[in-house]
Amino acid sequence: MDIYLKKVSVTYMKNTPFEKKALDNINLHIPKGTITGIIGHTGSGKSTLIQLIAGLIHPSTGTVKIGEMDWKNKKALAELRKQVGIVFQYPEHQLFEETVEKDIAFGPSNYGFTEVERLEAVKEAMELVKLPYEKFAHRSPFELSGGQKRRVAIAGVIAFRPKILILDEPSAGLDPIGKKDIFKMITELHQKQNMTTIIVSHSMDEVANFADNLIVLNQGKVLLEGTPQKVFNRVDLLQENNLDIPEITKLIKLLNQKITPPIPLSCFSIDELEYYLSIRLKEKK
């Protein structure tokens, strides 16, 4: 499902001394089947944007459409909420059932799945997040590691088979291996389920490597939008707005002070960097 926002603004506590415009007249198109990263400072509007897409809040002005359906249509809104799954930051804190299976089955149960459909959905979701049903289904989620708990929480969202998956800081609090594993899982999940995936992250390195497109928010407005290559080529604009860039981009900027011709700032992986450095070495010989 494509996602469209047209002239959308969101104002909290309107007509009070505490009025705050969280989003200011933004226009966006998130294409169906892509992985889109949303980045920006705390307070830039990231959380408001994903809550809008999930149908948890309404725009103060403007239009939000998922496919051909508009959030203003109440019947469509109820149906569309079944198509959008959102995994909030530290989702493992929301686990509450006595077994992994019961926790994952909560969503499908609420959406009217039959007992047979529910079991099938649970098994499918557990397989997708790489938690074998026979090994984990009857264990308490509170006995699992942090990374495994997060996988259970994600399984609970994808079990009702949404067409759009939103993840808010999916690697927050995990160690480096856990972060790498969770993003590998998200990428595989995206490919297998052909979902539209939206990732909110503070890590420029993560979104540079995993997202097809990026949306950079700043003070409720869209500062930049496009592929990671396009966005991170605007280093000066990002730094002017006190936004970070990937660590590998910082390294390349330093290397380019010594190397000719320069290495492209669109290089985001160590393998790519090694390739360009090997070419430069051959050129010197």
- Contact residues for 93 (Cβ-Cβ < 8 A; gap 6+): none
Residues 147 and 21 in one domain: yes
Percent of the chain clearing pLDDT 70 (strictly above): 97
**pLDDT value of residue 71:** 66
Domain around 272: 246-285
For tokens 């003070």, name the residue.
219
SS (H, E, C) 21-34: EEEEEEEEEECCCC
Residues 260 and 153 in one domain: no
Rounded alpha-carbon distances, angstroms, from residue 27 to 6, 61, 68, 88, 199? 5, 12, 16, 24, 18
Residues 173 and 282 in one domain: no
Which CATH number is 213's domain given?
Answer: 3.40.50.300
**pLDDT value of residue 178:** 86
Residues 237 and 252 in one domain: no
Residues 210 and 284 in one domain: no
Residues 273 and 178 in one domain: no
Token pair for 145? 């590691």
Domain count of the fold of the chain: 2
Residues 132 and 271 in one domain: no
Per-residue pLDDT tens for 167-210? 999 988 888 888 888 888 999 999 988 899 999 988 888 888 88
Q: Region 143-151: what's the mean pLDDT?
A: 91
For tokens 């393998």, name the residue.
271
Residues 38 and 74 in one domain: yes
Residues 44 and 162 in one domain: yes
Q: What angle do CA 252, 173, 86 make, to 5 degrees?
A: 100
Residues 80 and 141 in one domain: yes
- Contact residues for 13 (Cβ-Cβ < 8 A; gap 6+): 19, 20
**pLDDT value of residue 227:** 93
Q: Are strands 61-66 and 3-12 parallel, antiparallel or unpaired?
A: antiparallel
